[in-house]
């Protein structure tokens, strides 16, 4: 079927397939401001999860859109701090353990090619990917060092600069490289390094190898939410990587899914410190209550699982540093 452009009147016809409205002027304004593609995704989602035979109203669509926007702003606010701490935690560990080698992150010797994975197939994949990983880091360091017009604080590492011919120190590289690369570096660090980072920066008393892998899952899930938030994508009703529960919580929690938005929230809560967690808990509940006061249900719209508040109170009651 040939793809065609829809004018505003045709967009109205399409939207009416999923939500009901009487005021064409109101929906035209919404489409003009937010865009048909964006609004149609929310309309189709709301229509899909609706528990009644009647089509959802435009008011319900707008409230769902506002809920998604509020959650997205909340998540990016806290993920920003989580990301900065994670970057700095690895950088500080490398500085502390290799004080005479500021660019130690480029050295093959600090990494474990297999990532210490249990599964033999996964180990083989990690080993095969290691040369690509190392080459990628080397290339990204070069690109950042060559970008003085965009990143002024690396200017002294270019030709004629004070540090010409030197590689970027770990604290500069970790400030400017993408988050996915930072996570990959952490995963390839040797097991002892990863455990020390969990102890020194996240308060784990005796992290095991399994704990380190669970932490990896949390970071990957947070990265997925971060990317959606950064690109203003819809986050409700979306799935992501499978996350694992921290072992001591297995008997207390029964997450309905380890891939949905609620499991992403679990991951965020596990990595926050106690102050962040208290503030996040209060803000999150306020946003959901605001939505539910309109008569819509976070559960019935498939935003959160049944009895989400009970589960949320359990895993948001203890900060990572207190585990």
* Structure confidence by residue, pLDDT tens digits, 85-110: 999 999 999 999 999 999 999 999 99
Q: Which residue shows structure tokens 């002294």?
A: 156
What is the structure's pLDDT at 3?
66
| 107 and 22 within one domain | no
* Boundary (domain end) residue, out of 56, 80, 95: 56
1 lies in a domain? no
Percent of the chain with pLDDT over 70: 91
What is the overall mean pLDDT for the chain? 88
What is the structure's pLDDT at 161?
64
160 lies in a domain? yes
| 70 and 29 within one domain | no
Model confidence at 190: pLDDT above 60 = yes
| 121 and 20 within one domain | no
Average pLDDT over residues 226-246: 87
| 41 and 80 within one domain | no
Question: How would residue 232 be classed by pLDDT, with cut points 50, 70 and 90?
Answer: confident
What are the pLDDT digits (tens) for 154-176?
666 666 666 656 788 999 899 99
What is the structure's pLDDT at 10?
86
Is-contact 74 283, C-beta < 8 A?
yes
153 lies in a domain? yes
> Is the pLDDT higher at 323 or at 28?
28
| 75 and 49 within one domain | no
Judged by average pLDDT, the poorest of 74-83, 212-221, 281-290 is 212-221
304 lies in a domain? yes
How many domains does one find in the chain?
Answer: 2
Q: What residues make up the domain containing 49?
A: 8-56
- Per-residue b or e along 243-273, where b marks 16 or more CB atoms closer than 10 Å to that residue's CB: bbbbeeeeeeeebeebbbbbbbbbbbbbbbb
What is the structure's pLDDT at 7?
82
| 229 and 91 within one domain | yes
What is the structure's pLDDT at 28?
85
Q: Where are the alpha helices (DSSP H) in the chain?
A: 8-15, 24-34, 36-49, 58-97, 120-145, 170-176, 179-188, 191-202, 209-230, 261-271, 274-292, 308-315
| 34 and 170 within one domain | no
What is the structure's pLDDT at 306?
87
Burial of 157 (0-12, 13-18, 19+ CB in 10 A): buried
* pTM exceeding the 0.85 threshold for the entire prediction: yes
| 103 and 29 within one domain | no
| 120 and 13 within one domain | no
| 235 and 293 within one domain | yes
| 239 and 94 within one domain | yes
2 lies in a domain? no
């Amino acid at each position: 079927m040939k793809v065609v452009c829809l004018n505003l009147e045709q967009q109205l016809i399409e939207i009416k397939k999923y939500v009901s409205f009487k005021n064409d002027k109101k929906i035209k304004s919404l489409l003009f401001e937010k865009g048909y593609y964006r609004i149609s995704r929310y309309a189709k989602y709301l229509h899909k999860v609706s528990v009644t035979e009647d089509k959802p109203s435009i008011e319900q669509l707008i409230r769902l859109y506002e809920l998604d926007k509020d959650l997205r702003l909340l998540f990016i606010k806290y993920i920003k701090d989580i990301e900065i701490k994670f970057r700095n935690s690895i950088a500080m560990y490398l500085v502390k353990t290799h004080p005479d080698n500021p660019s130690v992150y480029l050295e093959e010797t600090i990494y474990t090619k297999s990532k210490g994975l249990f599964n033999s197939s996964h180990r083989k994949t990690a080993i095969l990917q290691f040369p690509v990983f190392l080459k990628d880091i080397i290339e990204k360091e070069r690109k950042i060092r060559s970008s003085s017009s965009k990143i002024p604080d690396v200017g002294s590492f270019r030709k004629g600069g004070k540090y010409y011919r030197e590689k970027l120190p770990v604290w500069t590289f970790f400030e400017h490289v993408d988050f996915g690369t930072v996570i990959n570096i952490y995963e390839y660090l040797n097991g002892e390094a990863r455990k020390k980072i969990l102890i020194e920066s996240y308060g784990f008393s005796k992290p095991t190898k399994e704990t380190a892998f669970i932490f990896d899952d949390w970071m990957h899930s947070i990265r997925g939410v971060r990317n959606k938030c950064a690109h203003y994508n819809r986050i409700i009703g979306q799935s992501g990587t499978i996350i694992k529960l921290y072992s001591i919580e297995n008997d207390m929690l029964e997450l309905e899914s380890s891939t949905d938005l609620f499991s992403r929230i679990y991951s965020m809560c596990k990595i926050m410190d106690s102050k962040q967690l208290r503030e996040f808990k209060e803000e999150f509940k306020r946003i959901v209550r605001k939505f539910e006061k309109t008569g819509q249900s976070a559960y019935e719209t498939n935003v959160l699982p049944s009895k989400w508040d009970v589960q949320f109170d359990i895993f948001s009651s203890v900060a990572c540093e207190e585990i």
